[in-house]
Structure 1
């Protein structure tokens, strides 16, 4: 696939569920990609995700060959300075913990070229809570992707009051160049547009479950039947990943019971959702 991306080299920090998809989507559209994770074990797991997502995407899109070839075009490294040393754009997709993200961005800010643009894929944190840690807040914003990025191809672009508008324009152009539908937000909003709509649904489903009102299967079937939606909330949880759901719930005192439920019944048993083959449902 050809590209008119304003960024020629993109670094993705974190090869988890979404980080791997972001790296894959970017590489499939002809942009040079470097992917970073903390050690060789994490990189090996990330390589497996890249290959699995490439197979899934190739079976669903017209130009499947570009996705099949994309994992081989991505350079993996566990050296952060090496990862960002020549990057035009850095996209961070590390776990949803504010202090971790701030620490990562402080180190990236010290190592990346002065002209590099920084973007977080955080699903719930505001860019203004992270921006100063980068050392260059005017070049920092949020760029948020949805799961199954090749098909559910939204890219929400959300700056903070100090973001340079020219930087946001370039990130919007990049999103379009890699096959996304850019969604420009005019002010900061926890959860952007997508999660502002989605999280209340998922929270309501969680409350029904922990109260013992109905099973995940019944709740999902009710939602699908009544709305025509292809997936119910617990199917969505499995795709998003239960570790991400736990991280978000742990940061909200109102969701403490849900965080505890996820940990006891799923995370402690190695059930992380689609990525591990089992969550609320079992997957091949």
Structure 2
């Protein structure tokens, strides 16, 4: 008598993770496609850019100061042991421009702008406004998601420059005032290690981080758990997932950049 192996009806644990990942990539692809297809929601883009810049500009500047100061303090202590304390400015500028400024910008953009986008879209979803837009023939991705994601990318690029300037200024202040460094040596060493591609990769990182944070926020906002509490959960998930994604992407982009662009020698 033939026997048949029983089939477990329960899905494997990672099934929903794969489903959400696939839908997230599909949303990212839709945003890229719609960006180059008119009409473009320019007014919505301006409003969202202004809102994100308004809530994230001051925190970014304040957050960049201790980042720059910490990097400068650590570099000075390390380089001073090798008699190269005059190169603190060079190392500080390189570290802040390549790593600290994009990370600071991404964290503040995801925390302030991303959470607001997830909350806004999540509230629209549970009020069935998104479904109503689809019934009326309006694509919510084109109408709501695209301008918000582009606004995140634009503001991230702008705030990255702000974070770089404020971070370097904070490092200079703590090196000169707190540690008694030489102002002339700190400033003159700026171009010892830094080069033009460092600025380009910093801006590229900021734009990519803004895109990733915007996509994650939009996806969680359009797919929140049921109920009003689900919107709060979606906001929390947006921030956590964005932080993890930003750090992972930063590692990959940094490794690729170091392989492609050789470091500048002294």
TM-score of the pair, normalised by structure 2: 0.23
In our comparison, the structure showing a higher alpha carbon Rg is: 2
TM-score of the pair, normalised by structure 1: 0.22
Higher relative contact order (CA 8 A, sep 6+): 2
Give the structure with the larger strand fraction: 1
